[in-house]
Amino acid sequence: MRKKSLLSIALGVMVMLAGVQNLYGQSSNVIDEHYKAINNHDIKTIASEYAGDAQAFSPNWEGAKVGPDGATDTFTRYFRSTPDLSYTVNNRISTGNSVVVEYTFTGTLSAPEAGTPDYMKGKKYTLQGCAVFILKDNKIAKETNYFDQVAFLRQVGFFDQNH
């Protein structure tokens, strides 16, 4: 009987660990595919990765971008203004349904949006960023990005101007 109980416990632990590995593997796959789609400038795939009510935040936006439409709008603007935009994932930490990603993003502000000062056009930038993702049902439910806006402004010439 004791042997049967130990076998049951061992089997239960293995099933639990397989579930944890599967959960982490799914998190990693969702995020790997997300950055792959960003680097391919594949807006359709990017948008499909967000839940319908997902919220995305960044220090350079006012309020949240919501769902696939918010992602489509955001990345369309990013890729239009910075056609060579690319991301490199430097570190990723996953636990449960949360994933934290440290990344480097780089590009050239080739076609700035209306209202952007002319001196910024053609400026290259390389920045460090961090994103915190909450996943639900293999979709991004929440994303919060952090990066140094002062470093961006410095690299695109903001502080070289007489304001």
pLDDT in tens, 76-96: 999 999 999 999 999 999 988
Inter-residue contact 120 to 112 (CB < 8 Å):
yes
Could you tell me the sign of the dihedral formed by the alpha carbons of 136, 139, 142, 147, in that order?
A: positive
Q: Which of 95, 118, 98, 121 is nearest to 108 (CA)?
A: 121
pLDDT of 39 reads: 97
**DSSP character for 50?**
E
pLDDT in tens, 36-61: 999 999 999 999 999 999 999 998 87
Residue 3 has pLDDT above 60, yes or no: no
Q: Which domains does the chain have, with CATH numbers?
A: 2-160 (3.10.450.50)
Q: Model pTM?
A: 0.80
Residue 1 has pLDDT above 80, yes or no: no
Q: Which of 87-91, 112-116, 120-124 has the lowest mean pLDDT?
A: 112-116
List, as own/partner pairs, every contact residues 149-157 make where C-beta atoms lie below 8 angstroms and the sequence separation is at least 24, other chains included. Answer: 149/59, 149/60, 151/127, 152/125, 152/127, 155/123, 155/124, 155/125, 155/126, 155/127, 156/109, 156/119, 156/120, 156/123, 156/125, 157/119, 157/120, 157/123
Name the average pLDDT for the chain. 86
* DSSP, residue by residue, 80-144: HH-TT-EEEEEEEEEETTEEEEEEEEEEEE-SPPTTS-GGGTTEEEEEEEEEEEEEETTEEEEEE
